[in-house]
Structure 1
Amino acid sequence: RGFDSLVQVATGIAAVEASADGTPGALPAQALDHGTGYLLAAAVLRALTEQSWTGGSRLATLALARTARWLIEDLTVEPEPAGPEGTTDPTAAPGHDPARHLQETHSPVGRLRHALPPVSFAGGPTNWSTPPGRWGTDAPAWRPSARP
């Protein structure tokens, strides 16, 4: 239940992403929708795995607001200490570099920077099978797998 943009406002993300003049901002994507969807997919896979081991069941409860809280409160990075006396440098860069999760691809809409597939495994695909295209141009049909 919810709408990503409204949850961004309600949880303070719009204030964090605000412009210099104070105009509320937003994340560059519907990150709460996507993030919560990936968390749900992971919960389903975990539940199915545990069910195959124990025969039991598991309840997964997710919410856009909980994902927002996780992003803005639980994943914050403390500044690195700047000196021997333990003072911190407020301008220190965070320790997370997203570059290893991103790739640039040529597409019908130009060069795009996008996230790599969220799941990888030995022998599995390392990128999406096709680049993003223009809205409404894909045929409404399943594409056959490129792998045998």
Structure 2
Amino acid sequence: MRNAGVNVQVLASSDSLLGAPEGYKKPDYVTFFETFPLQEKTLVNRLKNNFGGQRASIKAAEGMGAFDVVVCTTPPLLLTTSAIKIAKRKGAKLVLDVRDVWPDVAYEMGSFAPSSLYGRFFSHIEDMTDENR
């Protein structure tokens, strides 16, 4: 898109920097928001990382000026709620790139049921994305 002359701004988690090559130089069009480091992938750390990233991404987007489209890739699913809020605040269209059939896979594996706390939460996110269509 940038090669086609589109003004693109990227908002990314500081997790994206894990494993970055030494001497990595951030492009001007990329803004990183800080998250809890996910070096050990425990449930508690994932929750800290995701909920912290949710708040931090919305705050970082406020300082990025205006834009017409918000593109969010998922998982992680919690950032979808951030993208929804950012798009609403900016008056932008929302494009959701779903890279996984989550939570359907978790249901099929028996990890949790649609009626569980997780299932209800994911249904709520789905309803929120339906409202933005």
- Give the structure-1-normalised TM-score: 0.23
| CA radius of gyration, larger in | 1
Higher relative CO (Cα under 8 Å, sequence separation at least 6) belongs to 2
The structure carrying a bigger helix percent of its residues is 2
